[in-house]
A and B are shown apart, each in its own frame.
Chain A
Amino acid sequence: MESLDLALVGAGLIVIGAGLGLGKIGGSAMEAIARQPEASGKIQTAMIIIAALLEGLAFAALILA
């Protein structure tokens, strides 16, 4: 039972980390688009790739937890 509780804490930490990461990616992408609206397509693609990689990592950790 105790190990399960610890795993839940770990899952919470993962979600916090993933949230921070996604926020940073999203915020930077917004800034970049504001600076160069004509490059928004490329920025979006890159943003989605990074977000997907981050998400993959987060999900892998969640499943292990």
Chain B
Amino acid sequence: MNVNLLDSTDDRPFMAHRLVRAVICGVCLAIGLLLLNRPASALIEIEITRGVDNAIPIAIVPFGWSGSGEPPADIAAIVGADLQRSGNFAPLNRADLVANPVSGDIPLYSNWRLSGADFLLIGGMRRSPDGYVMEFQLFDILQQELMTGFSFQVTDQTIRSAAHQISDEVYEEILGISGAFNTQIAFVSVEGRVGDRTYRLQLADADGQNSQAMLTSPYPILSPAWAPDGVRIAYVSFESRLSSAIYIQDRERGRREKVLAREGINGAPGFSPDGQRLAVALSFEGSLDIYVLDIESGKLTRVTDTRAIDTEPVWIDNDTLVFTSDRSGGPQLYEVSPNGGRATRLTFEGSYNADPTVSPDGSTIAFVHNSGSGFQIAAIDRASGLFQTLTQGTIDESPSFSPNGQMILYATEQDGRGTLGAVSLDGSVVQSLSLDDGSNVREPAWSPYAR
């Protein structure tokens, strides 16, 4: 597996999509600024640095528009960019489309076959009393069949999300795997220099659009973690400057609650799958240990009790935690019951294994690994114990699974600047994400599916 984040492939169709996206996002940003009257937020630029060798050719025809003026969004461009970004698809150039059928048309399969496309996506949009009706159909060119198609009621606010749902539908129909296009990522950005830094906890759509700060502070913010509801986010803030505290913030209402502010370290929050408990690392009893907080009652249960560093707890399921401990000398991963008891060591490769994250199905644990050549993202399969290193950076950290388990988002560094990378579990797809205002990005956390 030879994955190089700095590789830049010559990808003309993708460049075209990026251009279209840039125009769309310019418009979105302008609207966002008018609506929200807040400081300009940076856009994330996403680049594919490596895709699968045999990406699936798909023709995505510009959606029909039966209203007056320009259509409110270029749905085909949004879907094309999503599919391209996954690394699994190679959308045809618009100039190479042999026809421009719209929703309801029967495609001339033989012509599409000649153009090299395996699949064809067409659609249309029209005004409705409540906004718009958007519809699409996906065809299998080789089998000469309609695979799926349906229509949505959308508004100006939900139009991009609906486009991402079409991407999800296409992805799942063709690959048999749920898509994760209609999701979000949280991350921390930092701008400014020593003594004058600004920290932001930001949210953006999975395609990098609509980035918005949910918390802005002159003091460090770290360790954002999503609740399974996709609405609450827990994080650590040093806003009281001389101590840390753990907050849970409702991103919609901006309402937040300080849930832990004990003496010493208040760190590494992780929601239980049932959303009712928070695993944390606290040092108020002397050494840093794992605790579980019942959010509703405030009841705190101590899980570990060692003189070592125990931190970074995450949940495999409601009855199992994985955490980092240096009880054996250096940081390694351990598994323990949230009620405490004996911890079992999970990692043995290399001198440094820390900051675990668990795949949505619980089968795989990804973490930060160092065996002498820098910090990289590695993963172990829990059933087989198979260990693999997925990235080749020197300071890769903070891994986070996409909600479909296909990609791992992580923090890395490019040209001395904090950026994000994403890699597929088999290492075949690599993306790079950066903020276009030059600020440092770190600690990405991919949202769960919305409920």
Q: Do A and B bind each other?
A: no
- A residues contacting B by CB (< 8 A) are none
